[in-house]
């Protein structure tokens, strides 16, 4: 029976895909507000850098890896990209993800 039987615990599986079982203290929930705030910070800063450099999204695009539409969607907050995508965008702007994240 899924979800029943073992007290008030929650079903879990190991990261390696190992056995599933129940745990009495599940990990804390992800703070989605923090994730959204970080995404806004990164996207805003990337757009500011691009505009300061007077470069277009088309100019920064990398065929097959980073489209101009992806760049615009990141900047507008419509896309929450993975770290590899953000790191590539940073590289195209001549900066690093660390510098973008540390800029306040």
Tens of pLDDT, residues 2-18: 444 444 555 555 555 55
Mean per-residue pLDDT, 18-35: 67
Q: Which residue has better confidence, 1 or 28? A: 28
> For position 76, what pLDDT does the model report?
93
pTM for the whole thing? Answer: 0.67
> For position 36, what pLDDT does the model report?
86
Tens of pLDDT, residues 62-104: 999 999 999 999 999 899 899 999 999 999 999 999 999 888 5
Structural domains present in the chain = 32-102 (1.10.260.40)
Mean per-residue pLDDT, 25-45: 81
Write out the two tokens for 64: 């097959």
Backbone angles phi, psi at 80, to 5 degrees: -105, 90
Write out the two tokens for 98: 């660390």
The set of long-range contacts for 64-71, using a CB threshold of 8 Å and a minimum separation of 24, is 66/92
3-state helix, strand, coil in the chain (%, to 5): 50, 10, 40
Could you tell me what percent of the chain has a pLDDT over 70? Answer: 70
């Amino acid at each position: 029976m899924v979800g029943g039987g073992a007290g008030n615990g929650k079903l879990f599986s190991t990261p390696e895909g190992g056995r599933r079982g129940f745990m009495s203290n599940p990990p804390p929930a992800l703070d989605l507000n923090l994730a959204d705030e970080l995404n806004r910070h990164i996207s805003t800063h990337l757009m500011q850098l691009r505009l300061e450099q007077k470069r277009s999204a088309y100019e920064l695009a990398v065929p097959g890896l980073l489209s101009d539409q992806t760049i615009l969607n990141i900047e507008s907050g419509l896309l929450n990209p993975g770290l590899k995508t953000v790191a590539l965008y940073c590289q195209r702007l001549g900066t690093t993800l660390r510098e973008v994240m540390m800029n306040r």
